[in-house]
């Protein structure tokens, strides 16, 4: 871990301004992923701005009938919130499927969105990785790729986004609220927040340097039955091989988002529309153009079968 200056921010504008003007400065909140990466010098900030004192730790109802979740709301608190459990069960379920109780107690809503990939080559500084060192190559292509992406991949990167929560946020049409170093605020729909790797896998989100997430908002409840199905090798405390989040209405319409298959939470409007026609129809659209390796080809049938399981579970719940 490289040496760094540490300071505690007292206002969002100040925090964004410091990070905006200080080369190599980063925000730190929960720290559960950033410190992990700093120990390996995959992240090497020269200055950490602690934003835990900014007070973004409340969940408030919005005028539109939705929820505004402060960036610093811990995963445990978000999952346990009565309104979230009642109206956004998918989000609660996704959060509870992730990490461990200890990590959820620290990890924040914004930090969860900004988690970096768990690709083992990204984590090994001796190996080429375009995400870690632009232009160095991708060791996962042709290497151990069992848990890598199958859709939206590029010649530069086949990593996946590891978050469960982000899959739910995507399915629930959440919006990310930010403040930029110059004080400008903006709202980024989840659909535009995470990027595909393309030629620049090191650029993972739509955030500009110094831009600070202040909240994530949820539109008014979509109703329906919420199912989050995470598939992994061990029963808990593991990243997803794949995950499926669905919201299914009584008439069979709904939404579907996938985790563990791409560089970002994976949702396609046409697949939502195909949901009433069943898991195969929706999976075919979600996985169209998939490029698999010998090791991760199983993800294609697994997605379809897991989606079938989720739809069956929804049907059972509605009966």
Partner 1 sequence: MRMSVSLTVNGKPQSLDLDTRTTLLDALREHLKLTGSKKGCDHGQCGACTVIVEGRRINSCLTLAVMHEGDSITTIEGLGNPDDLHPMQAAFVKHDGYQCGYCTPGQICSAVAVLDEMKAGVPSHVTRDLEEKARFSTEELRERMSGNICRCGAYSNIIEAITEVAGKRA
Partner 2 sequence: MKFDTPATTNPIDRLKVIGKSTDRIDGPLKTSGLAPYAYERHDVVPGQLYGVILGSAVAKGRIASMNLSAAKAAPGVVDIVTYENAGKIAKSKNHTAHLLGGPVIEHYDQAIAIVVAESFEEARAATKLIRVDYARAKGRYVLADQKGSATPPTASEFGGPPDTAVGDFDTAYADASFKIDATYTTPDQAHVMMEPHATIAAWEGDKLTLWTSNQMIAWAVKDMAETLKIPPAQIRVISPYIGGGFGSKLWVRSDALMAALAARVTGRPVKVALSRPQSINNTTHRPATLQRIRIAAEKDGRITAIGHESWSGDLEGGGPETAVAQTRLMYAGANRMTATRLATLDLPEGNAMRAPGEAPGLMALEIAMDEMAEKLGMDPVAFRIANDTQVDPEKPERPYSQRQLNKCLQMGAEKFGWAKRSATPGKVRDGKWLVGMGVGAAFRNNLLGKSGARVTLDGDGRVTVFTDMTDIGTGSYTIIAQTAAETMGLTLADVDVKLGDSSFPVSCGSGGQWGANNSTAGVYAACMKLREAVAQNLGFNSAETVFEDGSVRAGNRRAKLADAARSGPLTAEDLIEYGDLGKKYQQSTFGAHFVEAAVDAYTGEVRLRRMLAVCAAGRILNPKTARSQVIGAMTMGAGAALMEELAVDKRFGFFVNHDLAGYEVPVHADIPHQDVIFLDETDPISSPMKAKGVGELGICGVGAAVANAIYNACGVRVRDYPITLDKIIGGLAKV
Cβ–Cβ under 8 Å, residues 113 and 78? no
Q: Look at residues 226, 204, 218, 243 and name the one whose alpha carbon lies nearest to residue 98.
A: 243
User: For the stretch 182-196, what's the b/e string if a residue is b when 16 or more beta carbons lie within 10 angstroms of its beta carbon?
Assistant: eeeeeebebeebbbb
* Residue 144 binds partner 1, judged by CB under 8 A: no
153 binds, among partner 2, partner 1, none (CB under 5 to 8 A by kind): none
- Verify binding: residue 10, partner 1, rule CB under 8 A: no
Bridge partner residues of 110 (DSSP): none
Q: Could you say which of partner 1, partner 2, none residue 97 binds, taking C-beta under 5 to 8 angstroms by partner kind?
A: partner 1
The answer to whether the CB of 135 falls within 8 A of the CB of 54 is: no
Asked if 65 is part of the footprint of partner 1 (rule: CB under 8 A), the reply reads no
Interacting residue with partner 1 among 14, 24, 36, 196 (CB under 8 A): 36
Q: Give burial (CB, 10 Å; 0-12/13-18/19+) of 31.
A: middle
Q: Is 134 in the site for partner 1 (CB under 8 A)?
A: no
Pick from 103, 206, 238, 273 the residue near partner 2 by CB under 8 A. 238
**Using CB under 8 A, which of the segments 86-94, 138-146, 154-162, 172-180 binds partner 1?**
86-94
Closer residue to partner 1 (CB): 50 or 173: 50
Closer to partner 1 at the Cβ: 284 or 313?
313
Q: Which is nearer to partner 1, 106 or 186 (CB)?
A: 106
Residue 71 within binding range of partner 1, rule CB under 8 A: no
Q: Which does 4 bind (CB under 5 to 8 A by kind): partner 1, partner 2, none?
A: partner 1
Q: How far is the CB of 233 from partner 2 (least distance, A)?
A: 5
Instruction: Select the span of 60-68, 118-126, 148-156, 169-177 touching partner 2 (CB under 8 A).
Output: 118-126
Tokens representing residue 248 in the block: 């299914």
Which of 45, 89, 149, 259: binder of partner 1 (CB under 8 A)? 89
Site string for partner 1, 213-242 (x = CB under 8 A): ----------------------xxx-----
What is d(CA 168, CA 166) in angstroms, rounded to the nearest whole number? 5
On the 0-12 / 13-18 / 19+ scale of CB atoms within 10 A, 234 is exposed
Chain residues that interact with partner 2, rule: CB under 8 A: 1-3, 39, 41, 118, 120-121, 123-124, 126-127, 139, 142-144, 146, 231-239, 241, 279, 298, 301-302, 305-306, 308-309, 312
Chain residues that interact with partner 1, rule: CB under 8 A: 1, 3-6, 8, 28, 31-32, 35-36, 39, 48, 50, 52, 76, 79-80, 85-86, 89, 92-93, 96-97, 99-103, 105-106, 235-237
């Amino acid at each position: 871990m490289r040496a760094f200056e540490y300071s505690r921010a007292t206002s969002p504008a100040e925090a964004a301004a410091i990070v905006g003007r200080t080369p190599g400065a980063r925000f730190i909140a929960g720290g559960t992923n950033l410190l992990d990466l700093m120990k390996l010098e995959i992240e090497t900030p020269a200055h950490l701005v602690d934003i835990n004192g900014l007070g973004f730790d409340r969940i408030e109802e919005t005028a539109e009938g939705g929820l505004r979740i402060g960036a610093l709301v811990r995963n445990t608190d978000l999952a346990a919130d009565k309104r979230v459990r009642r109206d956004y069960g998918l989000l609660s379920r996704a959060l509870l499927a992730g990490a461990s109780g200890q990590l959820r107690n620290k990890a924040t809503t914004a930090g969860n969105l900004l988690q970096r990939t768990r690709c083992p080559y990204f984590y090994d500084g001796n190996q080429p990785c375009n995400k870690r060192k632009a232009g160095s190559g991708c060791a996962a292509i042709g290497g151990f790729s069992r848990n890598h992406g199958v859709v939206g991949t590029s010649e530069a990167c086949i990593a996946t986004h590891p978050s469960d929560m982000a899959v739910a946020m995507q399915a629930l049409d959440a919006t990310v609220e930010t403040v930029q170093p110059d004080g400008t605020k903006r709202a980024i729909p989840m659909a535009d927040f995470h990027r595909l790797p393309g030629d620049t896998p090191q650029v993972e989100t739509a955030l500009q340097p110094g831009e600070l997430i202040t909240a994530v908002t949820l539109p008014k409840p979509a109703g329906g039955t919420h199912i989050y199905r995470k598939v992994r090798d061990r029963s808990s405390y593991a990243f997803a091989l794949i995950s499926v989040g669905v919201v299914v209405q009584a008439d069979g319409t709904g939404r579907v988002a996938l985790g563990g298959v791409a560089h970002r939470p994976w949702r396609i409007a046409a697949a939502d529309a195909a949901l009433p026609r069943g898991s195969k129809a929706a999976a075919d659209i979600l996985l169209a153009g998939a490029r698999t390796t010998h090791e991760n080809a199983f993800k294609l049938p697994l997605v379809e079968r897991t989606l079938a399981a989720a739809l069956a579970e929804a049907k059972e719940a509605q009966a």
